[in-house]
Every structure is written in C-alpha cells, then in structure tokens.
Amino acid sequence: MEGGSGPLQGIRIVEIGAIGPGPFCAMLLADMGADVLRLDRTAASGLGVPKEPRFDVTRRGRPSAAVDLKHPDGVALAKSLIAQADGLIEGFRPGVMERLGLGPDDCAAINPRLVYGRMTGWGQDGPLAHEVGHDINYLAISGALGLIGRKGRPPAIPLNLVADYGGGALYLALGLLAALIEAQRSGRGQVVDAAILDGVTSLLANTYGYHANGRWTAALEENVVDGGAPFYNVYETRDGRHVAIGAIEAKFYAELLDVMALDPAALPDQFDRAAWPAMCERFAAVFKTRTRAEWDAAMAGRDACYAPVLSLDEAMAHPQIAARHAIVDIDGVPHAAPAPRFSRTPARIRGGARPEGADTRSGLAAWGVSEREIARLHAAGAIK
C-alpha cells in the first residue's frame, strides 16, 4: 500500500476481518494515516465481498493478510502482530475472540497498552447480547425506526447509514481515538465496547429531550423534522422530481414564502401545528406548478433552505461536491473522499480495496514477520 499521511500516522491497528461498521471504522482510520493490517480468513469468508473486490470500498487503504485464527500458529502470529499494535478492531459476537484465545485479557497480557475495540450490534452483555441482528434490527429496538416515515405507511428504512455507520462505525472510531489518547498518557490500554444499539440511542439524545419536554409527538408527521411541518419537508415537482425544504427559522421561512409567491399575512402562524396538514397540501400544490429545474432557478441565491433531491449520479456531478473534491476515482470506482479535512496533516486514500489475502506476504513483512517465518506458516496452513 502507499505510504501514510494524516494525523494518525504512526498508529498501528490490527483489524480482524468482518463486515459492516468494523471495516468502515478501519477505513476511516486508514484514511487518516493509521497503519491498519486486516486479517482475513484463509477460506472464502462469505463476508459479502462483491464479485470484483475493488467495489467493496470500505476495504480500501490497507493490506489484507489471510490468517487462520483457528490454527494455533495463526493465533500465535496474530498475537505477535497485536504485541506491536496500538489498537485492535473486532466485530464478532461476544465470546468468539475469547474462544480463539484472542480476547481482551489474552491481548492485554502481551500488550498492556493495547486499545481493544469491540463492535457488536447489541453490546457485550444484556439479554440480546448473543442474538443475531443487522442494522434494521438495532434501529428498530432503539426506537429510531418507528420515528421515521409517513402516516399510514410502514416505517421508512434509512439505508444502513444511521445504525451501522452512524451509531456503530463512528462511535467505535470516536471511542478508539479517545482511548488511544488516554493510553499515551497512562501507558495502559482498555476495551472499547461499541454497541450499535448504544450509538443509535446516543444519536437520539435530542429527541429524548424533546419527548420529555412534551415537544415530540409519537405519531408520524406531527413534528418539525419528521415531515409534519410544511416548511421542513419534501415535495414533488411538475416533472415528477422532488425538492427538499428546511426553512425553520423565521427569516428563511419568509424568504421561502416570497419565492413561492405566498402572502404570509394570509397564512396561519408558521408553528400552528393544527394548520400544518392543510399547509403541507398547499405547499405541495405550489411545488407541483414548476419543474425541479425551474425551482432551482427560482431559489438560486435565495436564503430559503432549499435543495433539489438528487440521484447519486447527479450528486457526484453537483458543483459543490465537485468543488470539494468529495468524490475521487480509485481503480475506476467512485470513492467518497476522506472526511473530515485537516489543514496540516491531510488524510488521503492509500489505494483501493484489496481482495481477501492479497497482501499476506507483503503485509506481514511490513509488520516485521521474516520471510522464513512466512514460509513456515504457509507450509503449516496457518496463512494463505
């Protein structure tokens, strides 16, 4: 892989191959300069890797070594790598790493400074800890899924952005970085128990506050940010496209009404909730009078908190995304550029997604494993 840059340069992370939020977290750390070595299985894993690995973009920027963690020599190899690592990322169900002999206590015995990151859906304990699940299940139990959607319809599924990546990967990354900073002061590592359910619950912090204050209604489309308010909603245009409006503040709402040619004196108060259903219908009728392109032109330069709802292809071509260089091409595949941006130690993508085990020899060698030991491990079947 290409050499490092970014604020995490010099940090070494062992990633135990998994799917979903764990790899996304590892991708973020690698983008920021961490030296991440991914340990994949020696047999076909069935971990959802596309037919062409280059499209599995969350595997980007780090080498993959195929190591059999059920082989005693594979476990010994993993321990030798963990001994020199600053952090570890694993995403198995509770108890799996312990059964492999690579649990937190096993690793702390060989590297007391290790920050041990654990990514699960339900957490390491509790009645659901050992149950299977995916993004949608954690979102459902958290209460978040029931808050998203339209009246008379099942809850809307917000892709896997909210739970897997928002409540999972980002909280794991935050926890790892916090623990790494603390370990530099104390010389002691610790376990970061990142449960997706915990993360989504944390993301709902503001909603819990509104709920306790009586400002959040349980029914769908009766709140400011859930499609209930006419000024914070999505509307269809004459050509069957859609636009998004978020004019919450009074000055932005006034600007919106002006562009829509609506007289505020003839309308109910902006926050008269009883009037919202009728106002939503009125707004919908107005937006149906023009095409999306015509609304784009009418809203240009106006502080109305307006945006067209774009497809992925349209988004990649949008001038703002282009100006920020937010999409970059790697091996013919569009990749989201590293985020956030750093002024002095810029993050960057250090190569595309690597197939499972594509870098066993070079990846292990970069971490100090000798050619002789690599040959021995291969002959023993501990690596592939």
Closest CA to 237 of 298, 291, 283: 291
Using DSSP's 3-state secondary structure scheme, residue 330 falls into: strand
Using DSSP's 3-state secondary structure scheme, residue 263 falls into: coil
Q: Which domain, by its residues, includes 272?
A: 232-317
pLDDT tier for residue 52 given thresholds of 50, 70 and 90:
confident
CA atoms of 51 and 69, how far apart (whole Å): 24
Q: Does residue 221 lie in a domain region?
A: no
Q: Does residue 282 lie in a domain region?
A: yes
Please tell me whether residues 95 and 50 are part of one structural domain: yes
Catalytic residues: 134, 164
Kindly state the average pLDDT of the residues 101-110: 98
Lowest mean pLDDT among 25-34, 40-49, 171-180, 372-381: 40-49
Please tell me whether residues 182 and 303 are part of one structural domain: no
Tell me, what CATH number does 73's domain have?
Answer: 3.40.50.10540
The helix (run of H) or strand (run of E) holding residue 371 is helix 371-380
State the pLDDT at residue 5. 82
CA atoms of 182 and 180, how far apart (whole Å): 5
pLDDT tier for residue 47 given thresholds of 50, 70 and 90:
low
State the pLDDT at residue 140. 98
CA atoms of 345 and 81, how far apart (whole Å): 26
Q: Does residue 89 lie in a domain region?
A: yes
Which of 289, 317, 345 marks a domain boundary?
317
Amino acid at 173: A
Please tell me whether residues 262 and 193 are part of one structural domain: no
pLDDT tens for 247-271 read: 999 999 999 999 999 999 999 999 9
| Contact by Cβ (8 Å): 345, 334 | no
Amino acid at 349: I
Which of 275, 299, 317 marks a domain boundary?
317
Q: Does residue 212 lie in a domain region?
A: no
pLDDT tier for residue 70 given thresholds of 50, 70 and 90:
very high
Total of domains in the chain:
2
pLDDT above 90 covers what percent of the chain?
96
Please tell me whether residues 131 and 184 are part of one structural domain: yes
pLDDT above 70 covers what percent of the chain?
97
State the pLDDT at residue 46. 55
In angstroms, the first-to-last Cα distance of the chain is 19
Asked if the model's pLDDT at residue 48 lies above 80, the reply is no
pLDDT tier for residue 4 given thresholds of 50, 70 and 90:
low
Name the one residue in this structure whose structure tokens are 């690592």: 85
Please tell me whether residues 149 and 197 are part of one structural domain: yes
Task: Tell me the average pLDDT of the chain.
Answer: 96
pLDDT tier for residue 2 given thresholds of 50, 70 and 90:
low
Lowest mean pLDDT among 51-55, 141-145, 263-267: 51-55
Which of 296, 317, 338 marks a domain boundary?
317
Q: Does residue 214 lie in a domain region?
A: no
* Phi, psi (rounded to 5 degrees) for 110: -105, -15
Please tell me whether residues 102 and 186 are part of one structural domain: yes
User: Which string of b and e fits 208-227 if b means at least 16 CB within 10 Å?
Assistant: eeebeeeebeeebbbbbebb
* Phi, psi (rounded to 5 degrees) for 307: -155, 140
Amino acid at 16: I
Distance of CA 274 to the CA centre of its chain: 37
pLDDT tens for 320-377 read: 999 999 999 999 999 999 999 999 999 999 999 999 999 999 999 999 999 999 999 9
Closest CA to 56 of 18, 92, 16: 18
Please tell me whether residues 149 and 294 are part of one structural domain: no
Please tell me whether residues 277 and 334 are part of one structural domain: no
- Residue 294 CB-half CA count within 13 A: 13
State the pLDDT at residue 14. 98
Kindly state the average pLDDT of the residues 197-217: 95
Q: Does residue 1 lie in a domain region?
A: no
Please tell me whether residues 142 and 287 are part of one structural domain: no
Kindly state the average pLDDT of the residues 95-103: 98
Please tell me whether residues 309 and 358 are part of one structural domain: no
Please tell me whether residues 259 and 162 are part of one structural domain: no
Please tell me whether residues 195 and 257 are part of one structural domain: no
Q: Does residue 6 lie in a domain region?
A: no
Tell me, what CATH number does 300's domain have?
Answer: 3.30.1540.10
Report which of residues 2 and 291 the model is more confident about: 291
Kindly state the average pLDDT of the residues 299-311: 98
pLDDT tens for 155-170 read: 999 999 999 999 999 9
Q: Does residue 7 lie in a domain region?
A: no
